[in-house]
């Protein structure tokens, strides 16, 4: 039978015959007894946009409307 043991924020699975040696080496059964090393989370850069002026898009109109589709060609 095997079990998971913890040491210095690392977990490792030990076989039944290795557990006594692992206990002497400082491995424990629960992660609460081990102080985990916390890494600082990176700060995300955020950009806030205030009030801006919107520009009207300039489009090129090939057909003035759907009525041009009903016209027959020459």
pLDDT along the chain (74 residues), means of 10: 86 90 89 67 83 77 63 62
Residues forming a β-bridge with 15: 2
Domain of 7, in residue numbers: 1-34
Domains identified in the chain, total number: 1
In this prediction the pTM is 0.41
Does residue 60 fall inside a structural domain?
A: no
Q: Identify whether the C-beta of residue 30 lies closer than 8 Å to the C-beta of residue 36.
A: no
Q: Would you say residue 68 lies in a domain?
A: no
Q: Does residue 21 form part of some domain? A: yes
Query: What number of other Cβ atoms are within 10 A of residue 5's Cβ?
Result: 22
pLDDT at 46: 82
**Could you tell me if residue 10 is inside a domain?**
yes
Q: What is the 3-state secondary structure (H, E, C) of 12-71?
A: EEEEHHHHHHHHHCCCECCHHHCCCCCCCCCCCCCCCCCCCCCCCCCCCCCCCCHHHHHC
- Phi–psi pair at 38, nearest 5 degrees: -90, 135
């Amino acid at each position: 039978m095997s079990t998971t043991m913890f040491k210095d924020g690392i977990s490792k699975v030990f076989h039944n015959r290795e557990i006594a040696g692992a206990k002497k080496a400082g491995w424990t059964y629960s992660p609460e007894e081990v102080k985990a090393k916390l890494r600082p989370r990176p700060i995300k850069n955020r950009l806030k946009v205030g009030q801006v002026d919107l520009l009207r898009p300039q489009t090129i109109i090939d057909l003035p409307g759907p009525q041009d589709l009903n016209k027959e060609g020459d």
